[in-house]
């Protein structure tokens, strides 16, 4: 199943937690300290790590969405 | 000797050594939300204690309905002008005011900024270990290491000149030790504020690459002197006793778990997880800023009405079975849990990356330097902190 990551930069508290956990996927802007996405659709092997990062995000700024034919939000 | 289970101490700050106090657990009695006596400060306004993990996340994550503006025991009208001493103190701000101020600060706390700070922190950790080795054994680990290391790190971060550091830290500790007595606290706060105000003026003239200098350079025209001063006072309130509490209490805990101590000392891959488990298990801040409900909200099956106050117990939330299995077991090899030791939501600790870095460097460096580290007194004689914002020990006599 394919899936995609969304980050809500307005919500992001700039904790840096996500990029400390999954640097391949998340980055942090030098300008405002908020989250940046390196890729919205990383390789499936990273799914578990991204899910954990989303759960630990203190501002609920990271969400995962399925992009398959009959996709719903996760 | 006063103990942190004294009844004169507010219930949510009571501890039994490493654990939330038994009466706190009894009072919660499995209920995630209970009424407590808010003391004279609260007057007739009901105060709720939230101890459940999900409920604490709900309250801290909902800044629209739970405000941090100092309404609890406030002398000023809730929506009147902010008293001088709270200007710049981010924890007293709600969005959008909070968003405006915090956005200037977050870039100074990024992982990249912290990596630039790292060699300096490693150097000052080494410096303090050298001094400890020269003058001991024995030593009081708090005075020799756990307290001065976060102090020196904060000075380096803010950009306090070397020659001023001893004086600055004396003022910080006098302020932190002043306790709840309003007069003494105000006097100590004034002495600290005065130094910081002078430093702000100096960094406006001559910005260096520390926190204050960078802020003055990048946002100098958008942030006022009073805000800069208040932010620095907050860094002192938030960034010293929490870290020193972790280092002292964490070392004591590890000494009682020699297997886990050896793992943290010898396996660099174990350090990150160990720091997170120490943060969760010890949860040194008793509670975040009290919140006030702005409208009626149901939390954990109880109706909290507009205007009522809410105190969240972070240590209780981090020992909730809803967060992880066997919450009362200390195990540094666990999968890191989504704990709330740094809070949750928009006020999530701005210094979390810095605090983690300090702990990741300072614990293993200490354990490696003194492989024979042990207590110099019976464990029952170690004095735990009482009446402090963060849990910890007052002294930790060690030998090696
Ligand atoms: C182990 C060490 C630390 C712990 C456990 C800790 C814990 C916390 C907690 C629980 C909060 C949220 C309070 C609330 O919601 O009312 C917080 C906020 C904050 N912390 Fe930390 N902290 C630590 C270290 C630091 C350090 C080293 C700094 C800075 C140098 C720092 C700066 C701040 C600031 C500025 C805030 C307010 C953020 C805001 O209101 O947006 N903290 N901290
Ligand atoms: S974990 Fe959440 S709050 Fe922290 S930087 Fe990532 S998106 Fe932002």
Classified as helix, coil or strand, B13 is helix
N-terminal to C-terminal alpha carbon distance within chain A? 12
Ligand closest to Cα of B338 equals 2
Homologous superfamily (CATH) for B11-399:
Cytochrome P450 (1.10.630.10)
Report whether residue A58 contacts ligand 2, using a CB cutoff of 6 Å.
yes
Low-confidence ranges of chain B (pLDDT < 70): 1-9, 70-79, 179-180
pLDDT for position A74: 44
Total-model pTM: 0.93
Q: Are A19 and A27 in contact (CB under 8 A)?
A: yes
**pLDDT tens-place string over residues B320-374:** 999 999 999 999 999 889 999 999 999 999 999 999 999 999 999 999 999 999 9
Best residue in A8, A14, A27, A29 to probe B by mutation, most B CBs within 10 Å?
Answer: A14
Residue closest by Cα to atom 26 of ligand 1: B239
pLDDT for position B49: 94
Architecture of domain A2-67: 2-Layer Sandwich (3.30)
Asked if A62 has any chain B CB less than 8 Å from its own CB, the reply is no
pLDDT for position A68: 64
Partner residue facing A33 (CB), from B107, B336, B349:
B107
pLDDT for position B70: 67
pLDDT for position B8: 61
Classified as helix, coil or strand, B221 is coil
Binned at pLDDT 50, 70 and 90, residue A71 comes out as very low
Pocket test for ligand 1, best of B349, B355, B361 (most atoms within 8 A of CB): B349
* Spans of all domains in chain A: 2-67
pLDDT for position B312: 96
CB contacts of A60 in chain B (<8 Å) are: 61
pLDDT for position B76: 45
d(C-alpha A37, C-alpha A28), whole Å: 8
pLDDT for position B348: 95
DSSP for B310-340 reads EEE-HHHHTT-TTTSSSTTS--TTSPPP---
Asked if B338 has any chain A CB less than 8 Å from its own CB, the reply is yes
pLDDT for position A69: 57
pLDDT for position B5: 47
d(C-alpha B208, C-alpha B336), whole Å: 37
């Amino acid at each position: 199943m394919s899936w995609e990551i969304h980050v809500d930069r307005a919500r992001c508290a700039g904790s840096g937690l996500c990029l400390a956990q999954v640097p391949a996927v998340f980055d942090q802007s030098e300008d405002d300290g908020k989250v940046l996405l390196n890729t919205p659709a990383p390789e499936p092997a990273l799914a578990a790590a991204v899910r954990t990062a989303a759960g630990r995000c203190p501002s609920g700024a990271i969400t995962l969405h399925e992009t398959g034919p009959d996709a719903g939000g996760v | 000797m006063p103990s942190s289970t004294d009844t004169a101490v507010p219930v949510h700050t009571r501890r039994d050594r490493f654990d939330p106090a038994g009466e706190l657990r009894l009072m919660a009695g499995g209920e995630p939300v209970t009424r407590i006596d808010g003391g004279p400060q609260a007057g007739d306004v009901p105060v709720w204690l939230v101890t459940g993990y999900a409920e604490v996340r709900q309250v801290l994550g909902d800044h629209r309905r739970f405000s941090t503006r100092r309404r609890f025991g406030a002398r000023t009208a809730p929506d009147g002008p902010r008293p001088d001493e709270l200007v710049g103190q981010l924890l007293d701000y709600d969005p959008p005011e909070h968003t405006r101020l915090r956005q200037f600060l977050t870039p100074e706390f990024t992982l990249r900024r912290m990596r630039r700070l790292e060699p300096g922190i490693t150097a000052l950790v080494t410096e303090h270990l050298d001094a400890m080795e020269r003058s001991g054994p024995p030593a009081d680990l708090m005075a020799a290491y756990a307290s001065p290391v976060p102090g020196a790190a904060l000075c380096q971060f803010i950009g306090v000149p070397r020659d001023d550091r001893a004086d600055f830290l004396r003022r910080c500790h006098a302020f932190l030790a002043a306790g709840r007595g309003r007069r003494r606290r105000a006097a100590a706060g004034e002495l600290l504020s005065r130094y910081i105000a002078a430093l702000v003026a100096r960094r406006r003239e001559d910005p260096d690459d520390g926190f204050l200098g960078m802020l003055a350079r990048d946002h100098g025209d958008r942030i006022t002197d009073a805000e800069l001063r208040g932010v620095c006072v907050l860094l002192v309130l938030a960034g010293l006793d929490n870290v020193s509490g972790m280092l002292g209490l964490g070392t004591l805990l590890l000494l009682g778990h020699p297997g886990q101590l050896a793992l943290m000392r010898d396996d660099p891959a174990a350090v990150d997880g160990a720091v997170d488990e120490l943060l969760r298990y010890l949860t040194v801040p008793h509670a975040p800023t009290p919140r006030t409900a702005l409208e009626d909200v149901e939390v954990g099956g109880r109706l909290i009405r507009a205007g009522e106050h809410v105190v969240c117990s972070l240590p209780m939330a981090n020992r909730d079975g809803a967060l992880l299995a066997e919450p009362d077991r200390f195990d540094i090899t666990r999968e890191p849990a989504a704990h709330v030791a740094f809070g949750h939501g928009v006020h999530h600790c701005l210094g979390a990356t810095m605090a983690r870095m300090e702990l990741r460097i300072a614990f293993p460096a200490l354990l490696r330097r003194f492989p024979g580290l042990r207590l110099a007194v019976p464990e029952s004689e170690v004095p735990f902190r009482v009446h402090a914002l963060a849990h910890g020990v007052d002294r930790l006599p060690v030998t090696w």
